[in-house]
Amino acid sequence: MNTVLLRLLRAARGAGVRISVAEAIDGFHVADAVGFADRTLLRDALSLTLAKTVEEKALFESTFDRYFSRDAISSAVPRSPDDPTPDGEPGADQETGSDGPSGEGRGDGSGGATSGGGPGKLAQMLLANDQVALTAEMERAGEAVGVSDIVLFTQTSLYARRIVDQMGMRPLEREIEALRKAENHGLADRLDRGRRDLIDQARAFVERQLELFAAGAARESRERMLRRTRLSHLDRRDFDRMRMLVRDIAKKLAARYGRNRKRDRKGVLDIRRTMRRNMAFDSIPFRTVWKREQIDRPRVMAICDVSGSVSSVSRFLLMFLYCLTDAISDIRSFAFSANLVEVSEIMRKEETEEAITRVLERIGFGSTNYGLSFEDFEDIALRDIDRKTTVIILGDARGNRTEPRTDLMKAIFDRAARVIWLNPEFRSSWGSGDSDMLKYLPYCHQATTCNTIGMLERIVTDLIRDTR
């Protein structure tokens, strides 16, 4: 049963349920406590232990039900009393091995005719329409050929054939051929129909395993592709997946900025605290206290361009802005086309789609004017920037040949701890046409192309690595 539970956890992870090693161990303890007899009780207990959100609970329960579902295999046509048996006696019942196969007739030739000339074990199960035995045999064959390792739909036929071969298909085919040579066509036709149905059932079984175990691999492959795809080329159907990827990246920022942390200043003794802690020992320093440097949580201000020149990526930029707001508590958010507007409250209170739609309806897709937006930023927030503030600007710096107001950009640069500009255009396009990026470049601590999720992740990783 440990193997059964391990595969269930693997299938749940593939479906999107986050399960750590420690949680998997808890799941084993829960399964030992409640047992496997009551499936509903086991599902509910594991769901309470492993799922951390409502969405994960629904995913886990759906995966659990699919994992333990068993479709009956009806691979035989009921025998008419007038149908001849292998011995040629109409209506005679064969010993069908109702206790199920013992494992001797799988894939090595013993699934065909027995030494006494009667049908082999697979033929017996098909003639008796023993669905329980056929299902159990297919499960064992699937485990033997490693069907849970399937990752591609194109492997379905390959694994289906391996499963039926493991069950004894080749000896069965030889037995059907022998019956035809013996002119026992009625029984041969029945076994042949059962053989074809068994192959169809094996394919359906493999497809179910593909759905269970290949979902995670397929999702990872899709995510790798999305990380490399330019944001302007994304398909609408990838929006939800992209939102989750961006949220994961934004949480890295939260891990960096979300709490006050302290790091030891090794080798510097805090004499006063050491003396106080050792008052009970007549100030003999049995317990030493070392000085620690506190790393303050910096403030973050994010300015997002949602004008017409970045219309193809504006939803992504706002999505990133939303995720920053969701992950970092001390952040102020701004968006602009021409005039700049603070959107912090919208980002905090509304759901993702509603927030993005409201911002775009209010100021989106207009004519770009970076100079005017910096003037608005000066009035609204410039005085609040200090040496603990990180300013992140998301935009292409194309101002439609308006005054760029680099003096205001310099004021932001002089006051902030860091100014980071993320531009969706390639560096070769900076300064071309109406791009003012090269004019702003001297006033950025970091300026880089960011038009894929992979680029954004690398930038965020570098930001996290830079501790101060």
User: What pLDDT score was predicted for residue 467?
Assistant: 39
Highest mean pLDDT among 65-79, 400-414, 439-453: 400-414
Give 360 or 256, the one with higher predicted confidence.
Answer: 360
Q: Check: CB of residue 43 under 8 Å from CB of residue 61.
A: yes
CA angle 272, 278, 279 (to 5 degrees): 90
In CATH terms, is domain 299-465 a member of 3.40.50.410? Answer: yes
Among candidate residues 292, 110, 312, 89, the one with its CA nearest the CA of residue 187: 89
Segment (H or E) for 389: strand 389-394
Tokens read off for 52: 């951390």
Judged against a pLDDT cut of 90, whether residue 413 lies above it is answered with yes
- The Cα–Cα gap between 343 and 322 comes to 10
Tokens read off for 154: 């194109």
Beta strands in 188-316, from DSSP E residues, in sequence order: 261-269, 290-295, 299-305
Give 197 or 310, the one with higher predicted confidence.
Answer: 197
User: What pLDDT score was predicted for residue 94?
Assistant: 40
Using CA atoms, how far residue 67 sits from 5, 60, 187, 212, 297, in Å, is 10, 10, 36, 7, 46
User: What dihedral do alpha carbons 335, 341, 347, 349 form, nearest 10°?
Assistant: -170
- pLDDT range class, residue 71, cuts 50, 70, 90: low
- The Cα–Cα gap between 305 and 157 comes to 51
Summarised one tens digit per residue, pLDDT across range 378-387 is 999 999 999 8
Judged against a pLDDT cut of 90, whether residue 284 lies above it is answered with no
DSSP code for 447: E
Helix axis angle for 131-145 and 185-213, nearest 10°, is 50
Global pTM reads 0.54
Summarised one tens digit per residue, pLDDT across range 314-354 is 777 777 777 667 666 678 889 998 889 999 888 888 877 78
User: What pLDDT score was predicted for residue 278?
Assistant: 86
Domain residue ranges of the chain, discontinuous segments joined by +: 2-69, 262-295, 299-465
Judged against a pLDDT cut of 70, whether residue 191 lies above it is answered with yes
Q: Which of 55-64, 354-363, 456-465 has the lowest mean pLDDT?
A: 456-465
Q: Which residues contact 315 (CB under 8 A, 6 or more apart)?
A: 239, 356, 360
User: What pLDDT score was predicted for residue 404?
Assistant: 93
Highest mean pLDDT among 91-105, 174-188, 447-461: 174-188
Give 216 or 99, the one with higher predicted confidence.
Answer: 216
